Structure 1
Amino acid sequence: MPSYAEKYEAAKARSEYLKSSVGLFESSLDFPLDDFQREACEVLQDGDGVLVAAPTGAGKTVVGEFAVFLARRQGKKAFYTTPIKALSNQKFHDLSRIHGAENVGLLTGDISVNSEAPIMVMTTEVLRNMLYAQSSTLSSLGFVVMDEVHYLADRFRGAVWEEVMIHLPESVAVVSLSATISNAEEFGQWLDTVRGSTRVVVSEHRPVPLWQHVMAGHRLYDLFADNTTISKAADIVRRDGAEKIKVNTDLLKATSRRGPGPRRGPRRGKGKGQGRSGPPPMRRAPRPVVLRSLDENGLLPAIYFIFSRAACDDAVLQCIASDIRLTDQRQAQMIRAYIAEATASVDLKDLRVLGFDDWREGLSRGIAAHHAGMLPLFKEIVEHLFTLGLVKAVFATETLSLGINMPARSVVIEKLSKFNGEQHVDITPGEYTQLTGRAGRRGIDVEGHAVVLWNDGMDAKAIAGLASRRTYPLYSSFKPTYNMSVNLLDQFGVDRAMSILESSFAQFQADKSVVSLASKVRRQEKALSGYEESMTCHLGDYVEYANLKYKLNQTEKRRSKERKRMTRSAAESTMQLLVPGDVVDIPRGRNSGPAVVVGKPQGGFETRIGVVTMSAHLRVIGPSEFDGSIQPISKVKVPKHFTGRTPQDRRDMSARVKSALDEGKPGRTIKPPKSPDFESPEEDQREIDRLRRAVESHPCHGCSEREDHARWFNRWVKLKKETDSLRHQIDSRTNTIAQRFSNILDLLADYDYVGPDDSGEPQLRSAGETLRKIYGERDLLTSLALRDGYFEGLDPAALCAAASSLVYSGKRDETVFLRNYPAGLQERANRLHGLWTDLAGRERHHRLPETPVPDVGLMWSVYRWARGDSLSKSLEGSGLVAGDFVRATKQVIDALDQLGHAVDDPMWRTGCEAATNLIKRGVIVHELETPAGSDDDVIGQEWEESEEI
């Protein structure tokens, strides 16, 4: 029992806690804070930054919400950044409910709501652009929440996170929220370096336990034996090793016999034993069967991951065809009513193009697809209905595992491999954890469930190993881009820019990777000192003596190589002048002796000729078989169509050669071409003689222990060579980021974007100013196109089409055939391709990755849309799906906005705005508006059946 004093102290501490910012924040919540949440919040309260790494669904965002709460108490601004627009929209609505709509704003590139509010939600790219533009919106900024910060590993967009981290003012506290990563401490160390005091808070605990199952055939099995969850399995692996994991014996038995099925008899017409017998391979359960099993076992709602857009859509149709229905009549009625309201403003023709009827039928049954190829409005409706619990099963690609808050009771993974754009690869433990992390809704489910579908050839122990591993380090993808480079140069100058780049997480990781190399170098340097001591000679400086011997040896080798080069060059140059019928003397080798040339010299890596030898063999010889210039020793006649394929032809030819030689028939004289300049042989010989005298007169030459010293010296030379190689590796790794920046500046100087200032330091020139305001994979090419007049004189619709070629990137297997270009853009497209060809050549010269080639695959579609055509007409013949078209068109809108602001010309800006207004219509700008009221209100409404569309 605690004493009265202890009780008093505890009560006092509790009272003080409740008065603190963390205590006040916790009292405003409907639930108590977990230990890791409270610890992270207290770090922020103390004025430090924090990195929170915890499993999906653990409640990391509560820490971000506390940062917003703290900013409000301190009278500062708070920015909440997310990697994707959907997550930004979600957080905007969440924070608006908590703090009031008047206090929360949203910036996502194409949307701006209440942009000067004290709480701003935005995509990370928007914040990066604000930092480069030195926006006034940054004033009074106190906190920045970087949700899903592990996105910095994304090879296309990851650099943005590091740019923001580096450029944010020191006074801003950064809250980094990450999925569980195995190198959180390393990432935290980097944050501490670039942002000041930063604490790392890691939680391995899943608030909702996760169970792992395998569906083999039509039956659901536990993967692990002994009532083990995934987290417990991970603990066992970490503590005792993977071999201690026990797999369910029932599963092993079921999968080892390859499933039930009749034995196959011999094929018709085959003899006994020739047919294929035995049970067939265990097939993967059909999708409708999987859903029925999940429903029967109480495992819905579920997210069913399929790594294919088309397969997700097919899965919904399969379930409709199998008459799967996961909703009751009332729920189906509510779903149809909501769809009618949400899509009321979408053109009826467009809805038909989008496969509206099948999509709505699936939703009314509680089944939907979710992938990047869907219309954004359709995706948002699916997300909303799933969140409300009206949709029970979503067939989704892996994009759903990133960021969007769509928790489910169960997650199904159809395959453990996916196509990465080039080949099929196994999913990683990190990807597996990200996918299964959606299972188990905090506050709703007491446990979550992950289900892997059994495919023939699988190994249950391999699945167990994948599910229980926790090795998913965060690696930086940071690399300087053209836009980043000119912004850094313009704002900070070359030295400060170099310093900024060297402070990136990419460089931090590269530096850490050379720690072991540096340690090895230090050990080898110590060994070199010992070798130097062992080869010390009492008569003189043995290193000096060894260096003289080394120089003598190298000079002799060089002289020998030069002699060989001169000989080979003379042989090759005269060989090229030989003609059929010339008889030459081959001085050595198996072909030595007279031979007659029977073919013209052939080029390639070296000149080669065909000859017939005196032994009647047909050979092909090169310059290495001669000692210098070749002079024919005789001449014979070679028949015009001589091939030398038959032994008789070759014997006849060798007989002619013998006859010509016996008669003393002279050969023709070949005048050798001028030899290439080599160092004078006489000068080389004089140097050899001088070094030889120096070696023989050196005191150490007469040492009785000279051979011992030589052995130690040879070891020293070998180790020094290895050590120098290690130093080179260290240099190449520690300077990669800065070297790329330097190469970019050299290339930009080719285009006069960068040039020397009065002191000779690189500075941004006026020609490069446009590049500062252009972002994207083809940033420099877009700037060059603008300078070259690619957009000049185009009407607004054609301007949209022209801009599309600089932002669109079609899939690898897409092939677009344009019969003609819209609005006479063919000549301009050819010019643009010429600009790209020149740029790609310069990039190769400066050892930089090539800019993606311009892509015309969107031109006709966006041109038609800009002219006012319907969605079906715009997509006709393009091979594009609606979601891709919408996403790409929004990129065109963003590009036009960048182009309009890249040049200080009001007329040009007006033209870009006019072009934007043409395509900013219909499904491109249609956003889902959540009906008023809470989620409970929505679920409780009795909506009438809507009129059929």
Structure 2
Amino acid sequence: MTTSPEMGQLQQFAELLTFRLDPFQMQACEALERGHGVLVCAPTGAGKTVVGEFAVHLALTAGRKCFYTTPIKALSNQKHNDLVRRYGAENIGLLTGDQSVNGDAPVVVMTTEVLRNMLYAGSDTLHALAFVVMDEVHFLADRMRGAVWEEVILHLPDDVRLVSLSATVSNAEEFGGWIQTVRGDTTVVVDEHRPVPLWQHVLVGKRLFDLFDYSEKNTVGKLVDPDLIRHIAHRREAERLTDWEPRRRGPGRPGGRSGLHRPPSRPDVIASLDREGLLPAITFIFSRAGCDAAVKQCLRSPLRLTDDEDRKRIAQVIDRRCGDLADADLAVLDYYEWREGLLRGLAAHHAGMLPVFRHTVEELFTAGLVKAVFATETLALGINMPARTVVLEKLVKFNGEQHLPLTPGEYTQLTGRAGRRGIDVEGHAVVLWTPEVEPAEVAGLASTRTFPLRSSFAPSYNMTINLVNQMGPEQAHQLLERSFAQFQADRSVVGLVRGVERGEKMLDDIATELGWDRRKQPDSEPAILDYVRLRAKISERERAQSRASRLQRRQATTDMLAALRRGDIINITQGRRGGLAVVLEAANESTDPRPLVLTENRWAGRVSSADFTGVAAAIGSMSLPKRVEHRQPRVRRDLASALLSAASGLRVPSTRKRRGDPEAAPDIDPELLALRESMRKHSVHDMAGREAQVRIGERYLRVERDNEQIRKKVSAATNSLARTFDRIVGLLTERGFIEARDDDYAVTADGKLLTRIYNESDLLVAECLRTGVWKGLAPAELASALSAVVFETRGSDGPTPSHAIEMPTANVRRALVEMRRMSGQLRADENRHRISPTREPDEGFVAAIYRWATTGDLAAALAASDVAGAGTPLPAGDFVRWCRQVLDLLDQVRNAGPEAGLRKTANRAIDDIRRGVVAVDGG
């Protein structure tokens, strides 16, 4: 199609499309054409990326550059392929850390981390950059990686226009307000309309019900479908009767639960959806093993969703994508079962799969050849795989530590995949009913629209040293103050600041009562306030002394309890066990001694310092049998009688205070005595009407104290990022990465090394590089050592214990021992500086990557990953992912390593690892 030069850029772009632009797309593109930045918030599948593609069009027609950033490599690969089809391979590049294709092209698709690294390095590639598209910008809430988005937004040159594309969030205006503050003119476009309507359902057994009452008689909004409520009530009543039947039948009669609540099998669910015309479908299962098991369950059934023509096309795609896999690896990868599932229109999709398998599934599903996919929630994070229907098996998921209910945001993100624009007239979300599912709760999830975006920005070691290197601490503080995290913190304290203002007004009013204008005479505080402050100090000192006395008494009691021996007679002075007692068994714990005793009232048990108001010293002793069976009532009765006889001649100290008993002499506190003397000599002490004035003064102090507490909260919120930055600067200065020079700081040679390390354990990596911990290692040994700062054992049990690892060589063992020692020192320093600790090295991947680097044998490498010997090796997808993480760090060592020998070893290690399944991407 040809375009006229007289046309505006937007009109030319629209002529190239096969569909009409929606109003929100037009609004955002018009703002871009006027030279504004844009923030577009719209539901999944609404077509936000069209706005990013218009930025690409503007850059190409103006002879400028556009960077298109995404949060994950898979999405970068997908976007690269889309843009290549439209604009040609010569105009489009790809940079994802482990892939570099045509990086000098005018349009480059990249992960956000790559752009962040370019900005810190001052890369020449940034020259002539006009637009940056940040796809899925709501990722800045991600706890682990979110800070990267804010770093990019803050560091981009002022003349670069930012195109931010986000899922629907409830605080879009707040986020847009921040972007406008730091980037200038920004148009916020919010569209909550789904281009394909979404219908909500609940599948009860094999019957599909609407979740909401969509009838015309429902005029009050989204009510739950009464038919659904009635049907569930009938099922629950039937279940209750079934529960009762076995007891009614009596012993020996057939009975038991009828299994009415057994959920339908996965093949039955897919078959039900097929009958209703609701395929293709994505079923979200919050477990990798669950996804694989679902496919296996379907393969054991007669379920088949493809015809002969489909099978032929599927086989062609599989052969094209997987042709580079070694025959020896196919059996290890369960290739043949995976292939059979695809040929029948079934597949799993999760991060544990081999990337080439996952990408094959994505291509076949997008082409409509795979009809049922069982996926973890990672599929909802940007991959373009919409379906006609989304099925949720459960409304709870495991977050690594505990099972938690889905949030409305998570529910919307998952069900947002339902409804393919241009293919389906409507999408469907189906929740499988179980007895724990209440329709009203599902309705609440489906109708809530409050998903606020919260910043996760915080200074790291690499960020801090790059800021010091580029701009110095003072400007770095200013940059941190411009972050979205600080923006949100400042807004959160608006109410607190108003509280301070109200407090200041109250102080003015109270000062007036005292005849004092505190604004005009700030240094002439009335004498009554000085007197009241003095009395407050005395009260606090008396309370402190009282607390100290109580602690001393408690400690004395504890010491005496620990000193008691078998047969000692004591007097319990507190609680309902009060009275005489004999010690049956001495305490075996000195810090919290609890001897076993028998009381005169025949109670046997352990007592503690809480049972005594005073001392717990022995007042006598008695003989005891060698064994005392204190649990037998007869033994307790006889022993209590013997106790009373033994104590008859003893003097038992009274616990009651009689009139005239002298007070215990208080400890003499010189400071307290001095304060009391100052109070007696104060000019106000003998003043007429003193107490009335004191009450006013005490009110003033109370408001003053409250105000000070609020100010501390404000300070904690508004300066938290700057304080963290200063603490990190302090630690880096102490360790020699930064040098203090005449009220300023300079980055040292070691610090320059740290500026080029991008890793969660960046400071530990830099320490290992500068101290030569990895010097002299062979390529496979270096890969093994680096894996310990990359790998993280799944689950919440922490790093794999080093004693459980079979070390491949003595050199690797030596390097890891030194890394653990340095990690311990670093964590101690971090604790002292009040900095979040760097995670400890995890050696669970050491043996696996060594085996892979030395042999290239996938079966052997996966076997070596089973460090617990429990028959649970890493899934192939995880194995490849960790190999690529090690490759990324090896590449940093190759570029930043201080010694030529280490850089050369890193280069050889990269070649040894990047082969076989690790090299086959299929993207």
Short-chain TM bin: 0.7 to 0.9
2:820 paired with 1:833: yes
Residues 1:687 and 1:391: Cα distance change in structure 2 (over 3 Å):
closer
Residues 1:710 and 1:88: Cα distance change in structure 2 (over 3 Å):
same
- Corresponding residue number in structure 2 for 1:849: 836
Instruction: Write the distance in 1 (CA, Å) between the matches of 2:862 and 2:911.
Output: 19
2:398 paired with 1:419: yes
Asked if structure 2 preserves the Cα contact closer than 8 Å seen for 1:480 and 1:737, the reply is yes
**Any idea what SS the aligned residue of 2:189 has?**
strand
- Corresponding residue number in structure 1 for 2:83: 95
**Any idea what SS the aligned residue of 1:180 has?**
coil
Unaligned runs of 5+ in 2: 631-638, 653-665, 867-872
Residue 355 (structure 1) aligned to one of 311, 334, 338: 334
Residue 175 (structure 2) aligned to one of 184, 187, 190: 187
CA positional deviation for 1:651: 4.7
- Within 5 A, what are the aligned runs for 1:563-712? 565=548, 646-647=639-640, 650-651=643-644, 654=647, 681=669, 684-696=672-684, 701-703=687-689, 706-712=690-696
Instruction: Write the distance in 2 (CA, Å) between the matches of 1:457 and 1:598.
Output: 52
**Any idea what SS the aligned residue of 1:257 has?**
helix
- Corresponding residue number in structure 2 for 1:519: 498
CA positional deviation for 1:625: 6.0
2:730 paired with 1:746: yes
Per-residue Cα deviation, 1:361-405 (whole angstroms, up to 9, x for no partner): 110111111100000000011111111111111111111111111
Asked if structure 2 preserves the Cα contact closer than 8 Å seen for 1:598 and 1:642, the reply is no
Residues 1:715 and 1:75: Cα distance change in structure 2 (over 3 Å):
same
CA positional deviation for 1:779: 1.3
Residues 1:682 and 1:463: Cα distance change in structure 2 (over 3 Å):
closer
Asked if structure 1 preserves the Cα contact closer than 8 Å seen for 2:557 and 2:612, the reply is no
Instruction: Write the distance in 2 (CA, Å) between the matches of 1:537 and 1:754.
Output: 51
Residues 1:588 and 1:702: Cα distance change in structure 2 (over 3 Å):
farther
Amino acid aligned to 1:525: E
- Corresponding residue number in structure 2 for 1:666: none
- Corresponding residue number in structure 2 for 1:860: 847
Amino acid aligned to 2:528: Y
Residues 1:656 and 1:599: Cα distance change in structure 2 (over 3 Å):
farther
**Any idea what SS the aligned residue of 2:404 has?**
strand
**Any idea what SS the aligned residue of 1:712 has?**
helix
Instruction: Write the distance in 2 (CA, Å) between the matches of 1:438 and 1:133.
Output: 38
Identical residues among aligned pairs (%): 44
Instruction: Write the distance in 2 (CA, Å) between the matches of 1:342 and 1:392.
Output: 19
CA positional deviation for 1:116: 0.6
Residues 1:607 and 1:554: Cα distance change in structure 2 (over 3 Å):
farther
**Any idea what SS the aligned residue of 1:488 has?**
helix
Residues 1:433 and 1:17: Cα distance change in structure 2 (over 3 Å):
farther
CA positional deviation for 1:453: 1.4
- Corresponding residue number in structure 2 for 1:778: 761
Asked if structure 1 preserves the Cα contact closer than 8 Å seen for 2:856 and 2:915, the reply is no
**Any idea what SS the aligned residue of 1:122 has?**
strand
Say which is worse superposed, 457-466 or 198-207, in terms of deviation: 457-466
- The alignment of Structure 1 onto Structure 2 pairs a total of residues equal to 877
- Corresponding residue number in structure 1 for 2:663: none
**Any idea what SS the aligned residue of 2:534 has?**
helix
Asked if structure 2 preserves the Cα contact closer than 8 Å seen for 1:595 and 1:657, the reply is no
- Corresponding residue number in structure 1 for 2:34: 46
Asked if structure 1 preserves the Cα contact closer than 8 Å seen for 2:419 and 2:426, the reply is yes
CA positional deviation for 1:819: 5.5
- Corresponding residue number in structure 2 for 1:900: 894
Asked if structure 1 preserves the Cα contact closer than 8 Å seen for 2:462 and 2:758, the reply is yes
**Any idea what SS the aligned residue of 1:220 has?**
strand
- Corresponding residue number in structure 2 for 1:885: 879
Residues 1:574 and 1:393: Cα distance change in structure 2 (over 3 Å):
closer
Say which is worse superposed, 303-312 or 140-149, in terms of deviation: 303-312
Amino acid aligned to 1:836: S
CA positional deviation for 1:488: 1.0
Instruction: Write the distance in 2 (CA, Å) between the matches of 1:640 and 1:255.
Output: 68
CA positional deviation for 1:884: 0.2
CA positional deviation for 1:766: 2.5
Amino acid aligned to 2:794: K
2:118 paired with 1:134: no
Instruction: Write the distance in 1 (CA, Å) between the matches of 2:177 and 2:321.
Output: 47
Residues 1:346 and 1:588: Cα distance change in structure 2 (over 3 Å):
closer
CA positional deviation for 1:95: 1.1
- Corresponding residue number in structure 1 for 2:299: 320
TM-score by length of 1: 0.84
2:192 paired with 1:204: yes
Per-residue Cα deviation, 1:202-238 (whole angstroms, up to 9, x for no partner): 111111111112111111112222259xxx99xx9xx
TM-score by length of 2: 0.87
Residues 1:560 and 1:600: Cα distance change in structure 2 (over 3 Å):
farther
Residues 1:208 and 1:794: Cα distance change in structure 2 (over 3 Å):
same
CA positional deviation for 1:790: 2.6
CA positional deviation for 1:922: 0.8
- Corresponding residue number in structure 1 for 2:227: 250
**Any idea what SS the aligned residue of 1:345 has?**
coil
Amino acid aligned to 1:884: D
Amino acid aligned to 1:112: S
Say which is worse superposed, 570-579 or 546-555, in terms of deviation: 570-579
Instruction: Write the distance in 2 (CA, Å) between the matches of 1:356 and 1:587.
Output: 75
Asked if structure 1 preserves the Cα contact closer than 8 Å seen for 2:39 and 2:186, the reply is yes
- Corresponding residue number in structure 2 for 1:794: 777
Residues 1:719 and 1:316: Cα distance change in structure 2 (over 3 Å):
same
CA positional deviation for 1:337: 2.3
Per-residue Cα deviation, 1:97-128 (whole angstroms, up to 9, x for no partner): 22211111100001100111111000001000
CA positional deviation for 1:94: 1.2
Residues 1:518 and 1:620: Cα distance change in structure 2 (over 3 Å):
closer
Residue 148 (structure 1) aligned to one of 115, 131, 136: 136
- Corresponding residue number in structure 2 for 1:60: 48
Instruction: Write the distance in 2 (CA, Å) between the matches of 1:615 and 1:177.
Output: 76
Residues 1:908 and 1:831: Cα distance change in structure 2 (over 3 Å):
closer
- Within 5 A, what are the aligned runs for 1:323-342? 323-342=302-321
- Within 5 A, what are the aligned runs for 1:552-567? 552-555=535-538, 558=541, 561-562=544-545, 565=548
Amino acid aligned to 1:892: V
- Corresponding residue number in structure 2 for 1:926: 920
Instruction: Write the distance in 2 (CA, Å) between the matches of 1:594 and 1:350.
Output: 79
CA positional deviation for 1:44: 1.0
Instruction: Write the distance in 2 (CA, Å) between the matches of 1:278 and 1:921.
Output: 55
CA positional deviation for 1:722: 2.1
CA positional deviation for 1:643: 11
Unaligned runs of 5+ in 1: 1-14, 237-242, 660-677, 930-949
- Corresponding residue number in structure 2 for 1:239: none
Q: Over aligned residues, Cα RMSD in angstroms?
A: 4.0
